[in-house]
Amino acid sequence: MKKLIDKFCETKKLNKDELHALLEISHKDREYLSQRAREISIKTFGNKIYLRGLIEISCFCKNDCYYCGLRRSNKNAERYRLTPEEILSCADKGHELGFRTFVLQGGEDAWYTDDIVCSIVEKIKTKYDDCAVTLSLGEKSYESYKRYYDSGADRYLLRHETADEAHYSKLHPSEMSLDNRKRCLYDLKEIGYQVGCGIMVGSPWQTEATIYEDIRFMKDLRPHMIGIGPFIHHKDTPFAEFENGSTYTTLVLLSILRIMFPKVLLPATTALGTADPMGREKGILAGANVLMPNLSPVSVRKKYSLYDNKICTGEEAAECKNCLERRINSIGYEVDSSRGDYPDFRREKHERN
Ligand code: SAH
Ligand code: SF4
């Protein structure tokens, strides 16, 4: 196994059998995989972890993804949306706490017209020109993405969820399509965003074959960020009875992705921290280099319920940040409070123009 891992680190390539072997890896060998991935992360980012302030702007969603607690058919969901003023005040608080990236995430909520989104982005960017704004607002047209970008948005997160057509159609109703998801990601790249894709690990009907497709897709897209976390069931969804994804496999995949994409921005996600109380620390030690503490007002946190038992729903932003900083320090890492762009991004942008 050590040989396989060494070869993988050299070639950054995996065939199906090698992926199979890694997904079945023993605890002892995983230690080695983790160590190799961690070394790569440290070589690129040092012992620094980027923090992103997450603002969950709305839990209204027009979509009906089978796995998600915000799906429109969930009649038990308590819905809220933040006003532009509330979003700005979260950013104010975040800036004061030292955050230099704000992630505005939400369900696909038509209340936020393009004009409104653009005006929020512009206001944040004008007030805080040392900050990056990341959007994660779902599937939009090329024109909408372009308008957000022209207003100053820097990055966009849109997990592809799975790159396998048949698997995609088991996770989503027929009105949603993998083709459109991919179209969005390629549009975002073309426009000039730093782009993030990703998957839930252990989503229902995920197999080694679908994960292999995910990796192939990522190689083609060449994302700047990859968000992965375990699938965690939500009691009021059609997937309520499905088992949660495994922390172990998530950690293995984090290491695989770090080795394949040495410079990619790779968060240790809240879902990982929900599945395992030490999940985020373990994620960093497996090669992740980003954490996304919550900046949403405490009054709405519980309502942004993508999955059951989500952590960090009770603390104020400052407590959240301090808690994460302590956790980072406890494993020998430090917070980096810069914008934390993708390492080659400026050059890449220059080359494109
Ligand atoms: N509406 C936007 C952003 C919010 S959802 C979008 O769908 O892109 C953000 C992410 O949460 C999704 O991409 C999905 O991967 C993750 N998610 C949703 N339900 C989940 C669950 N039950 N377990 C783990 N992650 C989940
Ligand atoms: Fe809406 Fe995103 Fe949840 Fe799908 S995953 S239902 S698009 S919030």
Mean pLDDT confidence for 18-25? 98
Per-residue pLDDT of 113-141, as tens digits, reads 999 999 999 999 999 999 999 999 999 99
Q: How far apart are CA 17 and CA 91, in angstroms?
A: 46
Q: Computed from CA positions of residues 227, 231, 235, 236, in that sequence, does the dihedral angle turn out positive or negative?
A: positive
Residue 96 CB burial class (10 angstroms; 0-12, 13-18, ≥19): exposed
Q: Distance, CA 68 to ligand 1 centroid (Å)?
A: 6
Q: Which amino acid is at 315?
A: E
Q: What is the pTM of this model?
A: 0.97
- Smallest CA separation from ligand 1 atom 24, residue: 231
Coil, helix or strand at residue 248? helix
Q: Distance, CA 93 to ligand 1 centroid (Å)?
A: 25
Collect all residues with Cβ–Cβ distance below 8 Å to 20 and sequence separation of at least 6. 208
Q: Is the CB of 136 under 6 A from ligand 1?
A: yes
Please choose from 59, 134, 158, 200 the residue to mutate so as to test ligand 1's pocket, defined by most ligand atoms within 8 A of CB: 200
pLDDT at 209: 98
Q: Distance, CA 319 to ligand 1 centroid (Å)?
A: 24
Q: How far apart are CA 268 and CA 228, in angstroms?
A: 8
Per-residue pLDDT of 277-325, as tens digits, reads 999 999 999 999 999 999 999 999 999 999 999 999 988 888 989 999 9
Task: Write the DSSP string, 137-189.
Answer: -----HHHHHHHHHTT--EEE---B-S-HHHHHHHS-TTS-HHHHHHHHHHHH
Name all domains of the chain by residue range, CATH numbers in brackets: 2-352 (3.20.20.70)
Q: Is the CB of 140 under 6 A from ligand 2?
A: no
- Smallest CA separation from ligand 2 atom 5, residue: 68
Q: Computed from CA positions of residues 343, 57, 275, 20, in that sequence, does the dihedral angle turn out positive or negative?
A: negative
Q: What's the chain's Rg over C-alpha atoms?
A: 19
